[in-house]
């Protein structure tokens, strides 16, 4: 199994100068704005994607695959 993906940019300043933070798994530090943040997967939504009987999704954004 592969490692988890790293964030591409800081959610606060948008800079790409990110390094793993000592706080542990999912924690990152941005050396441009001197902030630390943590990413956490919360889980799947219970409702999921629903469609009507005609096959049309009630979610905007295109056709089903």
How many other CB atoms are there within 10 angstroms of residue 12's CB atom? 12
pLDDT by residue for the chain (65 residues), tens digit each?
456 678 999 999 999 999 999 988 889 999 999 999 998 888 888 876 666 666 555 556 655 66
pLDDT at residue 1 in the model: 47
- Model confidence pTM above 0.75: no
- 3-class DSSP state of 58: coil
């Amino acid at each position: 199994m592969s490692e988890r993906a790293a964030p591409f940019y800081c959610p606060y300043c948008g800079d790409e100068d990110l390094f793993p933070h000592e706080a542990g798994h999912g924690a990152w530090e941005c050396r441009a704005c001197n902030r630390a943040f943590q990413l956490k997967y919360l889980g799947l939504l219970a409702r999921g994607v629903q469609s009507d009987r005609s096959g049309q999704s009630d979610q905007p954004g295109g056709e089903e695959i």
